[in-house]
Every structure is written in C-alpha cells, then in structure tokens.
Chain A
Amino acid sequence: MLPDVGTRVRDSLRSPGPWSVVPPAAGPRTTDPHQRLALLKWMIAARLIDERMAVLYRQGHIPGGSVFLAKGQEALSAALGMQLRQPAAGRAGDIFAPLIRDLAARLAFGEPVIDVVRTHLMRRTGPMRGRDGNIHRGDLAQGVLPMISHLGAMVAPVCGVLMARRLRGEPASQRTIGATSIGDGGMQTGALHEALNVAAVEKLPLVLVVADNQVSYSTFSDRTYACASLVDRAIGYGVRGYSIDGTDADVCLATLHEAVARARADEGPQMVVATLLRGAGHGEHDDASYVGSELKARFGDCLTLYERTLLAATTISEADTVAWRNEVTAEVNAAIQQALAEPQPDPAQEDWRALSSRDLATELMPRWAPASGAG
C-alpha cells in the first residue's frame, strides 16, 4: 500500500507547469522566534561567506576551478542543516551528503568556517588536503560525505550508511537519519532514480531535498522534465512528498522539521521539493545572462524576504542584522588570513598512493585464523 502523501502533493498535481511557482503551501509555518532567528543567521552567514569566496575567485586566489554560490537557496539549505544532529561522544550523528549549493546546511550542521576557506584555497590543512577542491569537501568523522561531481551519485552511499547502521542494530531511540540534496537537473539521473528506489524499498530514514531552481546550468526546466511538478514522482517511488515555496523561509523550516522528524520516526524516505530560482550563475565563471527578467520577476530572494518579514514582526532590528553581518565578515576575514598563511600541498611530501594496502605481493592479508577442524 502506498503511503499517504498528503494534500500538498495532490494540490501540486494541479500546478500548471514546471516554471510555475507552487502556491505557498497550506502546511505548517515556523513561528518560534528562536528558530526563526537561528535560521536567518545561518542564511546571512552562508550568503556572506559565499560572496566572500566569489571575491577570492575574482582576485585569483582560487586555484583553477570555480566558486559555486547558493544565492536564493539559503532558506531551504539552512532549514535542512538545522534539523541534523551532530555526532557526540558515544553517539553517532546524522549523515549529510551536501550538493554544491549547501553552505548554509553545512554551517548549521557544524562545519567550521575555516574548513570552508581552507578547501577553497586548497590548503594542505583542509579536510581534502588539496587533493579535492571547494564544494567537494567533506568530513566523514563529522558525518559529511564528500561529494563526487556526478549528480545523483551521493544518494546511494547515504542509503548504504543507513543500511550499515540498521545491520548494527542502531536503537530506535538513537535513530540517525541521512539527508542529501539534489536539483531539478540531478533529479533526471539514473543514479538518483536507482538510489531513491532503494531507499523506498528498504524504508530507510532518508530525507531528499530537491531544489527545483528552474535551471540546470543553462538549461531550463521545460527541457529537463515534463511532469507538472517533481513532487509528483514521490508517489511513484512510494515515498512521502512535500511541495513548498523555497523562497519562504518559515515554510522551509517547518517542512524540513516535519520531514526529518518523520524519517527519524521510521516513517521511511521523505522528499521535499522546493520551488525557487537560482540567484547566481552556475558558478562564478558564469554570468547567467541566459536567465531572463521575466523569470527573475517571478521569484523573490529568500534572504531579502525573510529579513523584511522579521523586521516587520519586530523580531529583529536593522541594528541586529548589521551586527550579525559584521560578525560573519570578521570571522571569514580572519579565516582567510589564517588559511592564506597555512601551507599548500607539497608534491614532494605526498605519498602518491591510491590504496591503503601496502605490500600486497609479499604480505598475507591480516585476518582471523583459518577455521579450526577443517578437512
């Protein structure tokens, strides 16, 4: 029997087409002032750090490659990151496989700013040691899987972590969940399809966050998919689907809270499809001149909208936002100064080995003793 996917899914079936903004969801909105403040702070931090990385790129400090901005997606991303539990002494944490526009979620899940900067500047001190760059960074000890570039490829490994934990007998009271992000482009890959189906078959505590940001690199959604809304696929996979306005931060927060809570309660995979607009180029090498003014006019910027909302509600003041911006700017600037002073990788110091095993031809693989009583 298929799970109840809720009225919001059925409502989305009536939405007229892939470019349309799904009407603000009838579902819950966050009203808790502490949660709202935290969300706004992560959004501001992600926006400012992203912009600072873009400046480093334009100044030529980023060796090769590009810098990928999450502008317009911070509300969705931060709302996810705030739900995730970090590992603690004696307790495993949640697993997160971020995609390229997930700085806000990473920060909310505990990523240190210095590691963001070190990886963009490819310092030896960063988690990838200069062997892999900027948005590919991850830290397995912290539960962040380092993405590979192939879209959709991170979903199955998150499933694998969750299956391993189930085999180990993780108690329900300490249930960890797996979260990962994808876009309207990555939703069309075979890897995504295979893995989401596995998650559904195995009823894994997986949360898939889909940022339908209208454009994959330069190709618009009408050349990417033909269904009315990507959330229509939820019922096909047998997972719970949510369709939300990704520019409405309160809705993002409430929806991600519900989705993660349901996953943690062993209700199986959850798929949140958020409609929004990528607010920058694919990367900073791309001016996105192909995005027309008509499309831009349909979408607000989640950060601008949320600041306006919270100012109007007098939850915050102008002075607050200035102070937070100054705080983040000071922290990222200090991190840049620190990272620039740190060593780059040294080819002469590398061991240049892709295997952890040594001496396979001469040493026996250590393992248990041969079965006794054989023969």
Chain B
Amino acid sequence: MNAAAPLAQPVRYVDALRLALEEALARDPRVFLYGQDIAAPFGGAFKVTKGLGERWPERVINAPISEDAITGVAIGAAIDGARPVIEFQFGDFASIGFNQLVNHAATTFWRTGRSCPLVARLPVGGTPGAGPFHCQMAEGWLAHHPGLIMVCPATVADAYHMLLDAIACDDPVVFCEHKNLYNHLKDETDPRTTARLPMGAAAVRRAGVDCTLVSYSAMLHECLAAAHQLEREHGIEVEVLDLRCVRPLDEEAILASVGRTGRLVVATEDWPFGSVAAEVIALVTSRAFHALDAPPLRLAALDVPIPSHPDLFAAQRPNAARIVEAVLETVAH
C-alpha cells in the first residue's frame, strides 16, 4: 500500500503536499482531513487533496463555510486522540478561526497538560490580481501567541517532510503553504527520497561571508535569485538562511549566521510592523549587537492592504531587485 509509485517528474510543491497527506492517511487511521471543498471529486480549491477523497471518503470531509467551527472540531478531535488536518481555503479566512486557534488550541496544553495535535493548513501569500483578502500572510498575527507552532515551507522537499512532521507533532501546527509555489515550484527529485531536517531548524540554502539574508516561504526564492545576481554582478557572497519554522525561531542558526557575516537583511512579503522580520532583528540586536558591522535592515511589504492590480501588487512587495539594493546598502555601510 505504501510502496511509492514512481512519480511523473518533476514534482510540484502541490504534489509534495498531496503525497504527505496520502502517506499520513494510509499509515495512520487517526488522521482525517476537514475543510471546505476538499472532498471528492473536487479535491480543494488548490487541488491539494485531489484524489484523496476517492480513496478515503470517510476521512476527507467537506465542511460548511464555518472556519470557527472547523477549527473547533479539530480541537475536540485532537484532544480525543485523532490527528485532524484542517484546510482553510485561503489563509486570509483563518481570521474567522483566530479565536479557536489562539485562545483554545494554543492554550490547551498549558491549561490541561494534554496536547492538542491539530494541523491547520493555510494557503497564504500573494498572487497577482487576487487582492486584499486572498493574498495575506498569517504569521504576523498568529505567531504572536504562545502555544502554536508555525511553519512556512519554501521547498518541495520541505512541503512533504514538514507536513508529515506537523501531523506527527503533538502540538497545534499552523502550516503555511504559499499559493504561488503550488504549481510553479518544481523539483526533479522525489521528495520521499530526500533527507529531512528537524521541523524547527533553519537551513542555510546558500553559504556566504558578506551578509546574512534571512527569509522564509516564497520570498526565499527571490532571495536566492538576488544572491546569485549579487555574486555575479558585484562579487558579494550572501548567506541565505531559510527560517522554515517561524515559531519557534531557530535563534541559534540566525545568530551563528550573523556571527559569520556581520550583516543582516530580513526579507518578507508580510507587513513590517510587529512581524517575524521585526522579531529576527530584535533577536540579533539584543543578543549579537557586537557582531553587527552595519544596521540590520528589514525589507517588508509596503504598509498598506494588498492591492489587486498586478502593477500595484508588484510594487507593494519586495522582489529580487529590491533585495539586491538592500544588500548593497547594507554591505556599503
């Protein structure tokens, strides 16, 4: 049953997520999926659960448009021994499940000593034309609360391994999937054959000595493109650190990297105020101030709601060109 059939290459981010859910459903009878439009034959707005409902109709369950109840159901099922994986159709709508996530799921272990092993899958991030209510990131307002783990996989291998880790984890995990990666990010390697990292570990995606460039989710790929350009055009060696898990932060990996480079740029498509990027900079300035050769720089989206028109959309968020400018400014300091 679990012997993996060869995949049509290359593997997309969305395929990796589906493979992880398929493996979890096949191996663990406690696992069930609950969300809007996820059952057969539709398979979800982004097709992450395509084909799963046919095989496990009783465990891939459509829900009404009721994000509070979807989350509350997952909490009850989790504390009764199940492993629920809920899908918000868009991460923006997790705001309706906010209360159950931060006040209920996140407080259960602290209050009762019993863990609450649910996974909330959030399709997050911007796509051109989708506008202010289908493009948001969620880590700024969810990662604030103690009691939640929040992961933002940026690679095909991480999408697969981290989703299985999130399901295996005894704590509530908010799993942020970037919508722009679903079909566009591809990998020639079957993620099931790749090594996995600890779920909470940051990963150095490119080594360098001149500046640390911290990112996560889809912005990682803008950072890698910027690093390539900086090396080619300016001879600058950037170390690109992928946080992978934004709550808890892998503080030691961040501090170690800044210790090697002495400079820090944090790039995110989230808003700047009270953000994960702000937290990374606060960490470095409070614990490694002496290691810094230049002021740390936060490169975030403009502090306005996310615009619809593709030109406005593109202007509102960081990209590789703006990351190059930010690194040049930091290195020149």
A→B interface (CB under 8 Å): 95, 127-129, 131-132, 136, 138, 140, 145-146, 148-150, 153-165, 167-168, 190-191, 194-195, 197-198, 201, 353-357, 359-368, 370-375
Contacts and interface: CB of A to CB of B under 8 A. Distances in A.
B77 A375 contact: no
Determine the main DSSP class of A at the interface with B: loop
Given A131-B110, A168-B29, A365-B199, 13 more contacts: A140-B79, A145-B79, A146-B112, A156-B73, A160-B73, A160-B75, A160-B80, A161-B80, A191-B72, A194-B67, A354-B146, A355-B147, A360-B201
Q: In which size bucket is the chain B interface?
A: 35 or more
B245 A156 contact: no
Contact of B76 (A127, A131, A157): A157
A202 B190 CA distance: 38
Contact of A156 (B68, B112, B165): B68
B320 interface: no
A355 B170 CA distance: 9
B32 interface: yes
Contact of A361 (B23, B84, B146, B200): B200
A165 B80 contact: yes
A365 B168 contact: yes
Nearest to A155: B72
B171 interface: yes
A94 to B, nearest CB: 12
Contacts of B196: 364
B3 A375 contact: no
A160 B248 contact: no
A133 B198 CA distance: 36
Contacts of A373: 3-4
B107 A148 contact: yes
A298 to B, nearest CB: 35
B59 A360 contact: no
B162 to A, nearest CB: 9
Given A156-B69, A159-B73, A160-B73, A375 B190 contact: yes
B72 A157 contact: yes
Nearest to B28: A368
B80 A191 contact: no
B111 A128 contact: yes
Contact of A375 (B6, B79, B202): B6
B70 to A, nearest CB: 8
B107 A361 contact: no
Interface stretch (B98-106, B228-236, B280-288): B98-106
Nearest to B116: A356
B23 A371 contact: yes
A140 to B, nearest CB: 5
Most A Cβ at <10 Å: residue of B6, B66, B106, B114: B66
Contacts of B115: 356
B192 A374 contact: yes
A354 B106 CA distance: 8
Nearest to A368: B27
Given A355-B147, A361-B250, A195 B84 contact: no
B24 to A, nearest CB: 9
A150 B170 CA distance: 24
Contact of B100 (A136, A156, A198, A359): A156
6 A-B pairs with least C-beta separation: A156-B72, A160-B76, A360-B200, A157-B76, A194-B66, A194-B69
